[in-house]
Structure 1
Amino acid sequence: MKQKHFVIAAAITGIIVLGVALRMIYHYKQQLTTQKEVLAQLKQQQEHYQDSLRTLNRLLEADSLFINQAYDEAFSIYKSLGLDTNFINRRQHRYTISLQRQEAVEKVNNVQNTLDEEKRKYEQAFITQVARLQELQNQRNNASEQLDSLEAALRVQQSSFERALQQQAEQMQKQYSENYGLLQFTTPRGNKVYYLGETKDGVASGKGVGIWDTGSIYEGQWKNNMRHGKGLFRWKDGERYEGEYFQDKRQGLGTYHWTNGSQYTGEWVNDKRHGNGKFTDASKTVYDGDWKDDKFVGNNGGSSNYRVKPANNWR
């Protein structure tokens, strides 16, 4: 009886174990099927991703060609990827805008660089100018100090000069009152002379100026109211004599100028051309040699037919 029960129990246990095993096998098969489906889906997704990756790589390649302005090759790839014309046009438009922006940025950067460089130059020039102004200010201060010193020295010198000038003026005034004067006298030929210059014992002696009542003027040396020494006599008609006088007569060396351009330079005696001299007339004819009593006698002492214009109105 007991053995029968054992067999039944063993049979039930075997059935239960078999059922559990079958259940596990069924469940495993279910899991295996599910895993296969998942693997298939994953494989499908992988292939899709790979296709997308290849498409992306091709798109990147096309974009690179497009950026490098290989438009025909880029458009060929875009078309092979099934992209429409609108996409290509938009891509080209965006790229054009991008290039314009890049060029604008470069221009702005160039302008900014230029402004920075100009600013740097201006700052450097400003610093240089400030240093120069400071140097000029220092020079001005030094010059001002030197000017003050010079002004002080000039004031001292001016004071000394004024004292010396005052003393000299007093001496000149005293000398002028004693040795200078304004005279009026008559020549032996009856001409009135108005004289201003040095005097001695009340007569014209020394340097002075005489004005004749005929309009002639003499500037030079005087003695006892007579032209005596060197001087310049100018007639009213423009003729003039410059040279030596002796007791109111031309004597010694002198030059006479006529108004027509003629000129005599040489020796004079007793108010006449006498001795060695040279006469050049208005036509540039030259008479160079000996003269006697106001006439040309040649260069060997003999007589000659050459004549010159008479010296009228000597006085």
Structure 2
Amino acid sequence: MNKAKNIGMILLVVMVLIATYGFFKITSLKKELKTSEDKASGMFKKVSEYDELLRIDSLLVIGEYDSAINAYTSQLSDKDVEEASGIQLRIDIAKKLSNLNRSQQFSELDLTEKDSLDSIQNVRISSIPREIKQYDSLNFVLEKTKVELVSIKRQLQRKSFGEYITFTNKKGSQFHYVGEVKNNKANGYGIALLNTGSRYEGEWKDNQRHGEGNFYWADGEHYSGNYINDQRTGYGTYYWPNGEKYTGQWKDDKRNGEGVFYGADNQVVTQGIWKNDKLVEEDKSKS
């Protein structure tokens, strides 16, 4: 009788132990599940936050600096977003760009004297009256805005989170850059604004324009084409505000190789072989 009672007690203890283990196991699994759900919720929140930052970054691209500053400021209430995304840095850069934009007043000298970065002086437009130049510049700005909208869409499609860096290139030009960054340098697709009012959007490699890109000068001139090691090299087109353009080969930032110069009416003015921005062999048979 006592033996049976002892066996019963042992079985009861075993059952209690199994039940206790099961309870703690279930509790542990519930905690793990809750942790996983919290992590997933946190990830969705981060994605949403970065999507919002990307939307605000796009305001900088189109020059709405004050709107961008207000939108960034509203994000400062969330310390996690501020620490992870460098919102204060974004605000500082946006303020600087806003001040530059307000203080930028282009005189006649400003219109003809570009920043030292890559501009081509076209002797054909030097005699055009000031009023016509200004009209052409305004017309070009309208066309450029259409191009910029396409560029913004392309940037959004690339899922860039809009990381900011500032750097000075070998030519001494300072860039405020937003786009893809690797090893603390511009690598991939991005947009850069210069203190002079010029702007480049396109592909980068180690803080140098490298690949396909577009460069806009403040007076309305525009280059669209290939770059290698921060210089126009390969095929590209250079546009002047009055409608003239050159399209053809480039090397070391200058027209080198076969190229065609078009007038404002899109008719061929001259074409042939170019060397260091000068036509050295004209092909009259195709003019």
TM-score by length of 2: 0.43
The structure with more helix, counted as a fraction of residues: 1
Higher relative contact order (Cα pairs below 8 Å, separated by 6+ residues): 2
